[in-house]
Structure 1
Amino acid sequence: MQSLPDGWKQASLIDIADYLNGLAMQKYRPSANEIGIPVLKIKELRQGCCDDNSEFCSPSIKSDYIIHDGDVIFSWSGSLLVDFWCGGICGLNQHLFKVSSSNYDKWFYYAWTKHHLDRFIAVAADKATTMGHIKRDELAKAEVLIPNETDYNRIGALLQPIYDLIISNRIENKKLAETRDSLLPKLMSGEIDMSEVDYE
């Protein structure tokens, strides 16, 4: 094995982040007096948003399982992918991990999880089932290098602003799409009159 730079150390994915598996949301439907929140499943993660076909769950599930914009989500079954969720508040379904850490920054655990994704996809494809998936012991085998503090801060100063920009742009795009979708029918029906608008 090659020697590590001074002050760097070897670890694994489960040493740097918590991988929280979602709930079987069919057991947590909204009660009669609750306004449900959408359920984040693999389909929603792939399309980047919830839609009219998304299921709903109770908003009173444990707060750990409520997903917010910017959370890192790792689909470990079926379609393996890792991404920043920017589709609003929702409940985390099973077959998805919420990735978080109390010790390391988002850029670090996102980048390392993403780094191992191709290998995870290959491992899942080798399984003799239609639904390839990743078990937790694969996370423990996934090697991570933890830089010394100076290098960690230097790398973070480069990566964190990029990831922050991706997240803020996606949230802004979602808001713009919602504005378009609410204005367009009003324009088409004549409810909003554009004839008096001065374009100069």
Structure 2
Amino acid sequence: MQKFRPQNNEIGLPVVKIRELNQGDTDENSDYCTSNIDQSVKVNTGDIIFSWSGTLTLDIWAGGEAGLNQHLFKVTSSKYPYWFVFEWTKYYLKSFQNIAKSKATTMGHIKRSDLHSSLVKIPTHDEMIELNTTLSPMYSQKITIRHENRVLYQMKQQLLSKYF
């Protein structure tokens, strides 16, 4: 996002780096980018973010609209529910971390081929409907709670700054 800094008096979007992904939100120390970036590198609350290099991690973003820095990807699927994609990626995360750790570089990473070689068991259509009926509301609630926690934390910080 260094090439996409906010222009003129534009406020822009906070940039999600690994630090922000790990803390679950952006803050006053986060960099900013222009809001005029491709949708593929914009994230919103509820998007799955995967770090494929350095500190391999996976999370469901709850920090509002932001821009994605290098080494982070928004994981999407037009065919499968987001909870399904999230859980299978999480299932392979430890393997991905071990692959990255075994690299003889300063910043380990995985390759697209590592992702392609990961086998996923696809439920039948009826099983997927049943699973989706149960899991989709749970994941939606998880995202809502994380978003509410973020809002409450921001309110707490504002109140504390006025009090002290």
Q: Which residue of 1 aligns with 2:109?
A: 133
Aligned-partner residue type, residue 179 of structure 1: M
Aligned-partner residue type, residue 95 of structure 1: H
Contact 2:44 2:62 in 1 (8 A): yes
Q: Which residue of 2 aligns with 1:148?
A: 124
Q: What is the alpha-carbon root mean square deviation over aligned residues? A: 1.2
- Choose which of 129, 146, 164 in structure 2 pairs with 1:170: 146
Matched, 1:54 2:30: yes
Tell me, in whole angstroms, the C-alpha distance in 2 between the residues paired with 1:177 and 1:83: 19
Quote how far apart the aligned CAs of 1:157 are.
Answer: 2.2
Quote how far apart the aligned CAs of 1:59 are.
Answer: 0.3
SS at match of 2:107: coil
Tell me, in whole angstroms, the C-alpha distance in 2 between the residues paired with 1:86 and 1:152: 25
Quote how far apart the aligned CAs of 1:29 are.
Answer: 0.7
Quote how far apart the aligned CAs of 1:185 are.
Answer: 3.3
Matched, 1:73 2:49: yes
Quote how far apart the aligned CAs of 1:80 are.
Answer: 0.8
Look at both structures and tell me which one has the larger radius of gyration over its CA atoms.
1
SS at match of 2:154: helix
Tell me, in whole angstroms, the C-alpha distance in 2 between the residues paired with 1:185 and 1:92: 29
SS at match of 1:26: coil
Matched, 1:181 2:157: yes
Aligned-partner residue type, residue 37 of structure 2: I
Matched, 1:88 2:64: yes
Quote how far apart the aligned CAs of 1:155 are.
Answer: 1.8
Q: Which residue of 2 aligns with 1:8?
A: none
Tell me, in whole angstroms, the C-alpha distance in 1 between the residues paired with 2:70 and 2:109: 12
Quote how far apart the aligned CAs of 1:107 are.
Answer: 0.9
Where do 5+ consecutive residues of structure 2 fail to align? none
SS at match of 2:121: strand
TM-score (structure 1 length as normaliser): 0.78
Contact 2:41 2:73 in 1 (8 A): no
Q: Which residue of 2 aligns with 1:102?
A: 78
TM-score (structure 2 length as normaliser): 0.95
Higher relative contact order (CA 8 A, sep 6+): 1
Matched, 1:157 2:140: no
Aligned-partner residue type, residue 74 of structure 1: F
Name the % identity. Answer: 49
Quote how far apart the aligned CAs of 1:95 are.
Answer: 0.2
SS at match of 2:79: coil
Tell me, in whole angstroms, the C-alpha distance in 2 between the residues paired with 1:185 and 1:95: 34
Where do 5+ consecutive residues of structure 1 fail to align? 1-24, 190-200
Q: Which shifted more, 62-71 or 177-186? A: 177-186
